[in-house]
Amino acid sequence: MRIQINRSLLKSMMAGALALTALSTFAAETVEVYKSPTCGCCSKWVDHLRDNGFTVNTHDVGNKEARARAGISPSLGSCHTALVNGYAIEGHVPARDIKRLLRERPQAVGLAVPDMPHGSPGMEGARSDPYDVLLVKQKGDQRRDAAVYSSYPSK
């Protein structure tokens, strides 16, 4: 009986340590966001990331140059561009998809939610439209070249 309790206790402790390691990995990620100083939806998206455990530094200089440096084509463009751990994040990408990207580490430029779909993080309101999160595989890929990473139906 005592051996079973000790094994259960050890398994619980190991599971807890693994969970804390996973959480600290995401909490340690710093996201650099390039946006307009007057864009309210960009600020709401930054709040969404912070609420989901990311550290965020904002650069209120616009995102055109950051997007181009990251290799994201204008066809995949949105109102802000972020950089995290070697990946580009274009637009209103949900935090859970960023966490998945960082966990899976695919060979890719990053993720994009082109345009500014209603209902995406930072674009919440009365209206919610379906949208896709796209995996951008190579620098300069156009929208038609990107793969669907996640889909969000309208609510």
> In whole angstroms, what is the distance from residue 2 CA to residue 35 CA?
59
> In whole angstroms, what is the distance from residue 144 CA to residue 23 CA?
34
The separation between CA 130 and the C-alpha centre of its own chain, rounded to angstroms, equals 18
Q: Which amino acid is at 26?
A: F
At 128 the pLDDT is: 94
Q: What are the Cα distances from residue 21, in Å, to 26, 54, 151?
A: 9, 15, 28
Q: What is residue 85's three-state secondary structure?
A: coil
Q: What is residue 41's three-state secondary structure?
A: helix
Q: Tens-of-pLDDT digits for all 155 residues of the chain?
A: 555 555 554 455 444 444 444 444 444 589 999 999 999 999 999 999 999 999 999 999 999 999 999 999 999 999 999 999 999 999 999 999 999 999 999 999 999 999 999 999 999 999 999 999 999 999 999 999 999 999 999 76
Q: Which amino acid is at 73?
A: S
pTM of structure: 0.82
Tokens 């899976």 correspond to 104
At 154 the pLDDT is: 73
> In whole angstroms, what is the distance from residue 33 CA to residue 76 CA?
16
> In whole angstroms, what is the distance from residue 48 CA to residue 150 CA?
18
> In whole angstroms, what is the distance from residue 55 CA to residue 146 CA?
27
- What number of other Cβ atoms are within 10 A of residue 119's Cβ? 18
108 within 8 A of 87, measured Cβ to Cβ: yes
Name the strand (E) or helix (H) holding 11.
helix 2-27
At 28 the pLDDT is: 59
